[in-house]
Structures are given as C-alpha cells and as structure tokens.
C-alpha cells in the first residue's frame, strides 16, 4: 500500500520515473541482460535553490526526501563534502531502538522505528531492518533500576520493553557468560524485541534514490565553505563549486556541525568526539539479538554476513581524527570477552572511527536558530542513525511550515540558554 513513487500523493511537477525494484524485475533484467539505471542522478549545482541541506547522510537526505514528498518543496539541494553517506551515516553500527528513558525521547524514537519498519516498502529499497531484539545488560543494582525505569516509561508509551533475568538472557544468547563469577556479573537486562540492526548504507541510498525521484538535487563532493548571513537572515552558501543563493539552509551534519553553525555565527553546545567501531572476521551466525552493556562500554551484534560488529562509548577527548586507537580495540576486546569468553580466538578485522557531536544532555538539537532561515538538526552524539527518518520528517515539516513540530519541541537550541535540558543522559551514555 505504500508504493509511494507510484501511487501516493506528492509532487507531480518534478516527478522522475525510476526503475522499480522487485524480485520480478531482477528476474526480467537477469534474463534480458538489461542494465539498471542510476539510482540517483549526477548534476551540476544550480545557482540557487529554495532549500539547501548541508550533509548528505541519512538526516540530510531524509529531510530533502520528506520536503519534496510531503510538502511539495522540490527545489532542494543536498550538499556533501564527500560521497553521500560517507560520514557518520556510513560509520555507525546501525542499531535501531526506541527504548529511551524520557517520554519525549521514547515518542520521538518510536516514530523513527515505525518509519524504519515501513521504509523498505516506502523507498522501494530493501534497507534490511532486522528486528532481532535488543538487550541492554545491567551489571549492578543501579543499572537494574535504570532499566526498570526505562521499561516502565516505555510501557506507558506503548513500547515493547521489559526487564528480564540472567536465565532468559542465557536463552537468548547462549554464548553469554551469565555466571556469578565474572568481574561484573549480569543481573538482568532491558529486553526490547522491536530493536535491531539495519543496513545503514541502504538507508542512505534509499533516501537518495527517493529524493532524486522527486527531483531533489544531490551534490556529493561539494563542500560548504561559508554561509552568507545578512541582517540576521540567510542568503546563501559558498562552496568549492561556487555560490548558491538560498533563503533556507538546514545543517544536517555530524562531526562538523559546530563548524557549519559557526559559519552562520551560531554557537553550539557541542564537543566533537570520535566514536570507534570494529568488526571481526565472519563466523556462522550464533548471536541473534543486539547486546549492549553500559558498564562494560560495549555493544555487539552479528550481521547477516556473519561479522560481529562492535562499538563502545566515545573517545575520552575531543578530536576530529578518525584514525582510531589501539587502546580502543584493546578495551573493546577485553569487554567482549567478559561477556562471551569463548570468542577469544575470533579475529578483529577492521576498526574505524566516526565523529560524534556530543551535547550536554545527550539529546539532539533540532529546530530554528537565532539566524532566520538557518535550521539545525545536529548534536546527534552516538544515536543519530536511529533517528534519521523521524528527524527528516520533522525537519521537513519545520522548514516547510515554519512551525516546530511537537515531536521535536523538547530538542530546541534555546533549551540550553533557558536551562531546560532533557533528561536522557542515563539512557544514552552507551545506549546503542
């Protein structure tokens, strides 16, 4: 029912017919040997756009997609200084969940999960959302209490989430050492069945293809070098490919969001920290749910290809370096083996890092700024990917209507100056 390209209302003007993806079409083209057309087009930037979105990751592309599809605003450019999805969208560990701590957070991420559940059909692009369940382990009384707090808030908001004990954990993850003799015995876990993992690149590409179908222009390798602001209003952006006039700029960057906002003269409560991740060699599937331990600063999942994907908390100091560190993989391995000691002969294959914009209250910053026409969707810390669809939807609504949607009202920039921080810190610290 959600074959959006072909049946849903939306813009008609810039509508671009694309090749439909399906098993039947795979078969047909396999027989005929016909090539698949480009998923999205390559173009030269125009000298002006109604809206310029900075950042070609999931947030930027989703914003552009929903602007075009839901609001008929198709004169939109998405700029990225590299290839699309090359920043945090392509470097995260692709965990999706909605079991947050605050009602604001839960509602927001729940909307995101709902959008993700429908995204493959919506975009006609399989994003491989695998709702295999998400376990957040508790190794001490305080953590058990926080897990119960989350579970209770979740349940009141209609989210499937419950606290389970070591025996049930062992059932779900037979490799887990649930004995009492470990350094940090496992006392329980928050179990969130709808949580899971997704193919992060596919989400980016699906949105890019969807935005392109609505005639949004996608410009990779287009670096924003300045934002023109006069009398408190945005007039355009300067890029390595020339100037672009526009009255609306949306900052959807991660890592560099302070620098982009700085170009518009907007100060940010953000520190940029590397977040590292690593992947092992492939082994046959043995780990179904996503496992997270806040105490041990680690999260683990196994991809359909068989690799274990690991992540941890952000690096201990700010940096724009994505070179990665040895101490990260050392600590990571130690903590993984605390949980699953039999994996000691598994080999770590690759480590990488992305940049995270950490905010004081572990919540994003979304909405308007003191500069008219300069919108921000930043401060995504380590939890941005899971919020991609809902952020795009909400930012598009804001840009199109000028009104801040209720679902993101709590995340405004003004909350810092006004002392209204969001209480999500407890759930998000290593909350992947």
Partner 1 sequence: MILLPCPHCGPRNASEFRYAGEASTRPDPNATTPEEWRAYLYIKNNPAGWTTEKWFHRTGCRRYFTAERHTVTNEVRETRLPAARLESNS
Partner 2 sequence: MSRGALKTGKSMRLGRQPGEVLDRSRQFVFTWNGRKYPAFGGDTIISALSAAGESVFSRSFKYHRPRGLLTASFLDPGCNVQVGDEPNVRGAHRKVEPHMAASAQNAWPSLRFDVKSANRYLERFLPPGFYYKTFMEPQRLWPLYERVLQRFAGGGKASPDAPHGYYDKRYAHPDVVVAGGGPAGMGAAVAAAEAGARVMLVEEEHELGGHLRWGDEEDLAALRRLGEEVARNSTIEVMTDSVVTGRYDGNWVAVSQRSLPRVEERLIKARTKTLVVAPGLIERPYVFQGNDAPGVMLSTAARRLINLYAVKPGERAVVLTANAEGDAAVADLERAGVEVARVEDARNGGDIGRVRGGQGAREVECGDGARIECDLVVTATGWTAPTSLLNMAGDKPFYNPAAARFFPSRLPEDVLATGGIAGDGSLDELLEHARATGKEAARRARGIGAALRAGIPQSTDGEEAPQDSPVTIPDLPVNGHLELFRGRTHGIVDYSEDVSSKDLVAAVKEGYDSAELAKRYTTATMGPTQGKLETVNAMAVIAEATGRSMEETGATTWRPPYAPITLGALAGRNFEPVRYSPMQPWHERQGARPLVAGAWIRPDHYGDPEAEVRNVRKNVGVIDVTPLGKLDLRGPDVSELLNFLYVNKWSNLEVGKVRYGVMCAEDGVILDDGVTGRLGPEHYLMTTTSSGAAGVLEWIEDWLQTYQPDWRVHVTPVTGAYASINIAGPKSRELLARVAEGVDLSTEAFPYMNVRTGTVAGVEGCFMWRIGFTGELSYEIHVPAAYGLYVWEALMERGADLGVRPFGVEAQRVLRLEKGHFIVGQDTDALTQGFGAGISWAIKLDKEDFVGKPELVWQGERDGYFRLIGLQPHDGSVAPPEASQIVEGKTIVGRITSSRFSSTLERSICLGFVAPHLAEPGTTVTVQLPNGERITARVMEHLAHYDPEGAKARG
Residues 268-297 contacting partner 2, CB under 8 A: 280-286
Q: State the binding partner of 232 from partner 2, partner 1, none, CB within 5 to 8 A by kind.
A: none
Residue 187 CB, nearest approach to partner 2 (Å): 9
Phi-psi label, residue 355: left if phi above 0, alpha if psi -120 to 50, beta otherwise: beta
Phi and psi dihedrals of 273, rounded to 5?
A: -120, 140
Q: Of 15, 45, 117, 245, which lies in the binding site for partner 2, with binding defined by CB under 8 A?
A: 117
Per-residue binding string, partner 2, 232-271, x by CB under 8 A, is ----------------------------------------
Residue 156 makes contact with partner 2 by CB under 8 A:
yes
| CA 133 – CA 193 distance, rounded (Å) | 4
| Contact yes or no for 341/322 (Cβ under 8 A) | no
Alpha carbon distances (Å) from 128 to 65, 206, 303, 330: 19, 11, 11, 31
Q: State the binding partner of 268 from partner 1, partner 2, none, CB within 5 to 8 A by kind.
A: partner 1
| Contact yes or no for 247/237 (Cβ under 8 A) | no
Tokens 């391995």 belong to residue: 333
| Contact yes or no for 269/279 (Cβ under 8 A) | no
Per-residue binding string, partner 1, 27-66, x by CB under 8 A, is ----------------------------------------
The CA-based dihedral angle spanning residues 72, 76, 82, 83, taken in that order and rounded to the nearest 10 degrees = 40
In the region spanning residues 122 to 141, those forming contacts with partner 2, defined by CB under 8 A, are 124-126, 128-132, 139-141
CA 37 to chain centre: 27
Residue 323 makes contact with partner 2 by CB under 8 A:
yes
In the region spanning residues 238 to 297, those forming contacts with partner 1, defined by CB under 8 A, are 256, 258-259, 267-272
Closest CA to 359 of 377, 382, 381, 391: 381
Contact region for partner 1 (CB under 8 A) — 60-68, 127-135, 240-248, 315-323?
315-323
| Strand-pair partners of 247 | none
Count of residues engaged in binding partner 2, rule: CB under 8 A: 103
Per-residue binding string, partner 1, 321-360, x by CB under 8 A, is x---xxx--------------------------------x
Residue 397 CB, nearest approach to partner 2 (Å): 24
């Amino acid at each position: 029912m959600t074959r959006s390209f072909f049946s849903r209302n939306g813009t008609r003007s810039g509508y671009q017919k694309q090749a439909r993806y399906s098993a039947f079409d795979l078969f047909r083209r396999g027989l005929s040997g016909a090539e698949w057309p480009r998923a999205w087009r390559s173009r030269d930037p125009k000298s002006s756009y109604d809206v310029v979105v900075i950042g070609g990751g999931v947030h930027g592309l989703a914003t552009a997609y929903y602007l075009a599809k839901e609001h008929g605003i198709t004169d939109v450019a998405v700029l990225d200084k590299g290839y699309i999805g090359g920043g945090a969208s392509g470097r995260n560990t692709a965990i999706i969940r909605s079991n947050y701590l605050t009602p604001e957070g839960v509602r927001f991420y729940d909307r995101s999960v709902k959008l993700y559940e429908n995204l493959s059909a919506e975009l006609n692009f399989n994003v491989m959302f695998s709702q295999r369940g998400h376990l957040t382990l508790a190794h001490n009384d305080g953590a058990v209490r926080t897990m119960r707090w989350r579970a209770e808030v979740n349940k009141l908001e209609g989210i499937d989430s419950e606290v389970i004990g070591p025996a049930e954990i062992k059932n779900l993850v037979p490799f887990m050492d649930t004995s009492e003799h470990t350094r940090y015995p496992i006392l329980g876990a928050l179990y969130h069945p709808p949580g899971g993992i997704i193919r992060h690149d596919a989400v980016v590409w699906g949105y890019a293809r969807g935005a392109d179908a609505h005639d949004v222009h996608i410009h990779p390798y287009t670096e924003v070098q300045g934002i023109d602001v006069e009398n408190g209003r945005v007039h355009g952006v300067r890029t390595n490919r020339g100037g672009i006039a526009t009255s609306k700029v949306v900052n959807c960057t991660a890592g560099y969001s302070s620098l982009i906002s700085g170009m518009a003269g907007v100060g940010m409560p953000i520190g940029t920290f590397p977040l590292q991740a690593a992947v092992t060699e492939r082994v046959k599937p043995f780990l179904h749910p996503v496992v997270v331990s806040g105490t041990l600063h680690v999260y683990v999942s196994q991809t359909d290809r068989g690799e274990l994907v690991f992540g941890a908390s952000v690096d201990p100091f700010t940096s724009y370096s994505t070179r990665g560190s040895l101490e990260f993989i050392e600590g990571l391995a130690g903590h993984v083996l605390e949980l699953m000691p039999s994996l000691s002969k598994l080999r770590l294959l690759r480590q990488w890092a992305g940049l995270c914009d950490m905010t004081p209250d572990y919540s994003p910053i979304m909405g308007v700024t003191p500069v008219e026409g300069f919108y921000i969707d930043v401060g995504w810390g380590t939890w941005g990917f899971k919020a991609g669809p809902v952020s795009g939807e909400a930012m598009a609504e804001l840009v199109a209507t000028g009104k801040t949607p209720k679902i993101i009202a709590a995340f405004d920039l003004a909350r810092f100056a006004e002392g209204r921080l969001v209480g999500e810190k407890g759930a998000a610290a290593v909350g992947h």
